[in-house]
Amino acid sequence: MREIISGVKSHPLALFADFRRLFAGRVISAVGDKFFSIAIAWWVLSKAGESSKFHLGLIMAMNVIPVVIFGPLLGTLSDRSDKRRVMLAADAARAFLVLSLALLLWSGRLNLYFLYAICFLISGFGPLFESAVAASILRLTSEEKMPQAVATDSSVMQFSNVIGSALGSVLMAAAGVAGAFLFNAAGYAASFAAVWGIRTPLAPEARTESTFTAEFKEGLAYIFGNKPVLWLILSFAAFNFFVGPILILIPMIVKFTLKESVTWLAVFETFFALGSSALAVALSFKKSYGNIYWWFFGSLLAVGLSFGGLYFTGEKYVICALLFGAGAALGAGNTVMLTLFQSTVPDAMKGRFFSVLTTLAYAVLPLTFMVNGMLAEKFSVNFCIGMNASAVLALSFFALLIPRLEYSA
* pLDDT one-digit tens code per residue, 245-283: 887 788 888 878 888 776 787 788 778 877 877 776 776
* pLDDT, the chain, mean: 77
Higher pLDDT among residues 89 and 335, named by residue: 89
Residue 160 has a pLDDT of 65
- The sign of the torsion formed by the CA atoms of 290, 296, 298, 303 equals positive
d(CA 182, CA 190): 13
Above 70 in pLDDT, residue 287? no
**Closest to 129 (Cα-Cα) out of 198, 75, 80, 183:** 75
The residue extents of the domains of the chain are 2-197+212-398
d(CA 173, CA 168): 9
Query: Tell me: the pLDDT tens digits for 26-38?
Result: 777 777 777 777 7
Residue 321 has a pLDDT of 92
Above 80 in pLDDT, residue 150? no
Q: Look at domain 2-197+212-398 and name its CATH class.
A: mainly alpha
Share of the chain above pLDDT 70, in %: 79
79-83, 122-126, 189-193, 405-409: least confident range: 405-409
**Element spanning 221, H or E:** helix 212-224
When pLDDT is cut at 50, 70 and 90, the band that residue 163 belongs to is low
Query: Tell me: the pLDDT tens digits for 63-103?
Result: 777 777 776 676 667 677 788 888 898 889 888 988 888 88
On whether the CB atoms of residues 393 and 99 are closer than 8 A, the answer is: no
Residue 289 has a pLDDT of 61
113-127, 148-162, 332-346, 393-407: least confident range: 148-162
On whether the CB atoms of residues 92 and 193 are closer than 8 A, the answer is: no
d(CA 403, CA 232): 8
